[in-house]
Amino acid sequence: MNKKTVLITGASRGIGKATALLFAAGGYHVFLNCRKTWKDLHQVKSQIDSMQLGSCEIVTGDVGNPEDVRGIFDVISLSCAGLDVLINNAGVAYMGLLSEMSDGDWSQVISTNLSSVFYCCRQAIPHMVKVKRGRIINVSSMWGTAGASCEAAYSASKSGIHGLTRALAKELAPSNIQVNAIACGVIDTAMNQTLDETEKAALREEIPAGRFGTPDEAAQMIWDIANAPEYMTGQIIGFDGGFL
């Protein structure tokens, strides 16, 4: 395959969808992943197919499950030698008191948000090391830096991404592989639709930019990181409208 390749986890909607469309428009072959929103993912594929610029394949599976991730990369290996870019975007939220959180809820947040990054990186890295190039971009949150009340598990998972990003960047820098993260603020996605209008208005007042970010803006930032100079690595790049 002559095209550059990218795997985007959680690509069926929100930031993942916008990023998939942008990379396809940039001529990439995009591997689209999600765990259960199949209908939405197929709609993304249809949009990319209609562009006639990039191309795509669907690689379904739970990236929080190491066996599923091995299967995803087995499918990828049938199309190309390996990835040029890995975008770890899959994520779930949980709002509630930590004392009332079940073992299952904790495990789901950590496996989906943090362990998935480890599993996907572990599979993508050998090829990148072999060819001495590659980009890994982890989609994180400002709550990984500041912490959010009633979102302890989510904040912990995103803080873990920050530590993993910085450590892995140092490990892979000698192989010319860049690892960075984007710490998003409040983005107008389905994850934030649980808030009522009063809550949304109060949250907007806390954001210096006075509004939520858009998935397209986040996707553009991810694209810019993927195309940044090679010397930029190990960075947690804030994208929060001035919130932090």
Which residues are identified as catalytic?
154
- Residue 34 near residue 113 (C-beta atoms within 8 A): no
In 3-state terms the chain splits into helix, strand, coil percentages (rounded to 5) of: 50, 15, 35
- Which of 56, 88, 60 has the alpha carbon at shortest distance from 74? 60
Pair of tokens at residue 33:
């992943």
How far CA 223 is from CA of 16, 27, 218, in Å, comes to 12, 12, 9
Phi, psi of 68 (to 5 degrees): -60, -40
- Residue 7 near residue 226 (C-beta atoms within 8 A): no
Pair of tokens at residue 68:
């599923």
